[in-house]
Amino acid sequence: MIKGCNIYHSYNGISVLCGIDIEIGNGETVAIVGPSGSGKSTLLHILGGIMPPVSGSVLFGDTNIYSLKEDELNRFRAKNIGFILQLYNLISNLTVIENVLLPSQIMGNNNKDKAINLISSLGLSHRTAYLPNRLSSGETQRVTIARALMNDPSIIIADEPTGSLDIKMAEEVFNLLVGLVEEENKALIIATHNEKLAKMCDRIFKLVDGKLAE
């Protein structure tokens, strides 16, 4: 379970999140919708431990993640949270499989068989040894998804996870994520402009003028 409590955030004195409260349980899929620039990505970054809020807290079970030391928070993220972000952040001089393996290596593991299985499940087995600059945007997105799932995270946070994919692959990827939520009791939080995808989630929250409403 992840819980955001009274979250406020601003940029250059302009408020983007104003007292956000949200709670997502295990086994739930949650969509956050709203216009561009409304703060959806900011909220995901805060919930995922990437960026601390100006005020408020994020609880993962009984753990207030922003009370952790930096190295503790880094390991916590690597173990518990899988990120699928708009900025793919693949390492340019590492191959597809090397990029996918990174989260497990942070945790002291090197589960190559799992990485190969994830890559294959996303239709990229023929791209395992490619560098990122040889991938299409859709392929790059799928590598990011495989990397996010590498450590079997209990929470998956996805910012426009299907934005670079064609309709068929977008549905396959979303069904893969939902299947993991249902089978392994994970939580999935997505920000999306895709109304069809949002309606497939258990709950939909709308973020407008810094306020979140279900």
84 pLDDT higher than 90: no
pLDDT at residue number 88: 64
Give the global pTM.
0.84
Q: What percent of the chain has pLDDT over 90?
A: 54
Q: How far apart (Å, rounded) are the C-alpha atoms in residues 14 and 37?
A: 12
Output DSSP code: residue 80: H
- Percentages helix, strand, coil for the chain (3-state, rounded to 5) are 40, 25, 35
Instruction: Report residue 209's pLDDT band, with 50, 70 and 90 as the boundaries.
Output: very high
Q: Which residue has the higher pLDDT, 166 or 78?
A: 78
What domain count does the chain have? 1
Q: How far apart (Å, rounded) are the C-alpha atoms in residues 149 and 81?
A: 9
Residue 156: burial class (beta carbons within 10 Å; 0-12, 13-18, 19+): buried
Question: How, if at all, do strands 203-208 and 29-33 pair?
Answer: parallel
Here the tokens at position 86 are 């708009």
Which segment of 98-102, 139-143, 186-190, 209-213 scores lowest on mean pLDDT? 139-143
Q: How far apart (Å, rounded) are the C-alpha atoms in residues 150 and 43?
A: 23
Output the domain CATH number for residue 112. Answer: 3.40.50.300
87 pLDDT higher than 80: no
157-194 pLDDT tens trace: 998 877 767 778 778 778 878 887 888 888 999 998 88
Q: Which residues contact 24 (CB under 8 A, 6 or more apart)?
A: 1, 2, 3, 30, 155, 187, 189
Which segment of 25-29, 124-128, 147-151 scores lowest on mean pLDDT? 147-151
151 pLDDT higher than 90: no
Average pLDDT over residues 117-142: 90
| Domain with 39 in it | 2-213
- Residue-wise DSSP of 112-152: HHHHHHHHHHTT-GGGTT--GGGS-HHHHHHHHHHHHHTT-
